[in-house]
Amino acid sequence: MMNWRWFFNILVGLLCLVVDFSDTQLVINVRNQGGDVVQENIFANVTDDTVSLEFQRSDGTLITQVIDFRNEVQILKALILGEEERGQSQYQVVCFIFHFDKDSFISSDAMSKLRQKNPSTIRTPEEDLGRSNYSMDYTVVLPHSGLISPFVADLCAEAGEATYTRHADLVLWAAAQGIPETTYLTALKKFPSSVNHFMSNSVEDDVRPSVSSCTSMKKMRSPCQCHLELCIGWYPCGLKYCKGKGQSKNSVMTYRCGIKTCRKCHLFAYYVAQKQQCLWDE
């Protein structure tokens, strides 16, 4: 019988080959902190004003990042392989939707103009931005997720109810769009009442689930709070500008002369119905 992990890795490799010759703007070889080299596929869509980044971690997890500049939304999707030796024969998908500061990534237009002189070069980021922690409050209802971003529904289709966001991000989106926070109510779903996490008539109800961390949970069928860290090892986080002589004798002109690259990690805490869905958090 064919090993399903082997088959999955072959399938991902074939998909990456298709992406390389069609949609990908840049293919970057990145050395991560563990010393492994991963290949990132980065694509900029100027029409949609988005930048997408995808790579496969050494443990087989497939990470997809989408930056939606118009709506100030960042989507991080993880396709995680099951642990066969612990009874998981299928993969699982989770999506995290959160606010994105426009000045923390170069624009889609600037990204679309980047080119590599040496595609085989193994790259490392110039700056490590550390880790941000996120406690996810709500599940996103995919049929209504267009209120947040038009790209959530398709990208997170396999994740289903395992698509999460936070109240803090809703506040920022509402302010940016000039709309009431309650506009997003139909795009959110309360957590099960059995864990005392609910949303009544307003997204202002920021009640944390009263469940234990999956790290300390022993019962595989019990609900718990899962933790998952996703790191982007290399991405263009800003533009570099240099100064040169202007047209007149003593004038100085500023021009774009490169990009600044960064590494960034995100640690998500979120509710799962049973520890079996979070075996890595031990």
Q: What is the pLDDT of residues 193-226, one digit of tens each?
A: 444 333 333 444 444 446 789 988 888 888 999 9
Distances (CA, A) of 119 to 41, 47, 266: 12, 26, 27
Distance of alpha carbon 53 from the chain centroid: 9
Sequence-distant contacts of 144-148: CB under 8 A, at least 24 apart? 144/186, 144/187, 145/97, 145/187, 146/187, 147/183, 147/184, 147/186, 147/187, 148/71, 148/73, 148/97, 148/173, 148/184, 148/187
Instruction: Quickly count: other Cβ atoms within 10 Å of residue 98's Cβ.
Output: 21
- In SS3 terms, 213-240 reads as ECCCCCCCCCCEEEEEEEEEEEEEEEEE
Q: How confident is the model at residue 243 (pLDDT cuts 50, 70, 90)?
A: confident
Higher pLDDT among residues 26 and 199, named by residue = 26
* Side-chain-side CA neighbours of residue 206 (13 Å): 11
Please report the pLDDT score of residue 148 as a whole number. Answer: 96
Checking if the pLDDT of 250 tops 80, the result is: no
The reported pTM is: 0.82
Please report the pLDDT score of residue 174 as a whole number. Answer: 94
> What rounded mean pLDDT belongs to the chain?
83
Pairing of strands 50-56, 37-45: antiparallel
The b-or-e profile of 194-222 (16+ CB within 10 A means b, else e) is ebebebeeebeeeeebebeebeebeeeee
pLDDT in tens, 47-99: 999 999 999 998 899 999 999 999 999 999 999 987 766 666 688 999 999 99
